[in-house]
Amino acid sequence: MKFRILSAVTFAAALIMTVPAVAQQPAAPNLDDVPEKMPFANPYGPPITLERADAALAAAVAEAKKRGWAMNMAVVDSGGNLVAFKRMDGAQLASISISEHKARAAVKYRRETKALENAVQKFGFNYILTLDDVVASRGGIPLIEDGKIIGAIGCSGGTGSQDEATCLPGAATVNK
C-alpha cells in the first residue's frame, strides 16, 4: 500500500513538473479604441550635454563591468544625433550600430524600445515592424528631464534583458 501511495505521489509530482506553466498574458489593447490622451507624449527638450551623456555611459559601463558583460553603449540627443559612445573590450561588432539604433528609436518614438518589443512579442502587432527606424528589442531608454526628452541611451551586446539591465543605471542618472 505504501508503495502505491508513493508511486501515486511521485507520478503526480512528475506530471506537475512536466506541464508547462501558462503565464497570464495581458489582454491586447484594442487598436480601434481612441485614447483620450496621447500616449508617450513627452515633448522634446534641449539636447543632452556631453557631460551628462558621459555620466550616463559611465553608469552603464560600471553595471556591465560588475556583471562581466562586454557591451556597446550610445547616447543620442533629443534629435537622435550621437553625442557619446562606449565600446567595451570584446563587445561584438554588430552591436555598435544596434546600440545607436536603439537609442535613436527610443528618442524618435518617445518610449523605451521594450514597448516596441512588447507590441510585437506579446500582442502580435507585427505592423510595428513596418514603421521606419523601429527596433523591437529592449535596451533603448529615453532620457527625460523636467518632463522633456533630452536624449536616449541604447545598449547592445547581450540578450535583450542584459542590454536593458545595462541601460537602466545609465538612464537613472537623468530620469529621476
* 140-145/82-87 β-pairing: unpaired
pLDDT at position 12 over 60:
no
Given a cut of 50, is residue 91 above it in pLDDT?
A: yes
Say if residue 151's pLDDT is above 60: yes
Q: Is the pTM of this model over 0.75?
A: yes
Region 140-168: mean pLDDT is 98
Residues 54-89 have pLDDT tens digits of: 999 999 999 999 999 999 999 999 999 999 999 999
**Domain boundaries of the chain, sorted by first residue:** 50-172
Please give the class, per CATH, of domain 50-172: alpha beta
Query: So what's the pLDDT on residue 18?
Result: 46
What is the Rg, in whole angstroms, of the alpha carbon atoms belonging to the chain?
21
From residue 99, how far is each of 106, 122, 129, 152 by CA, in Å?
11, 23, 18, 11
Over 90: is that where the pLDDT of 176 sits? Answer: no
Average pLDDT over residues 10-23: 46
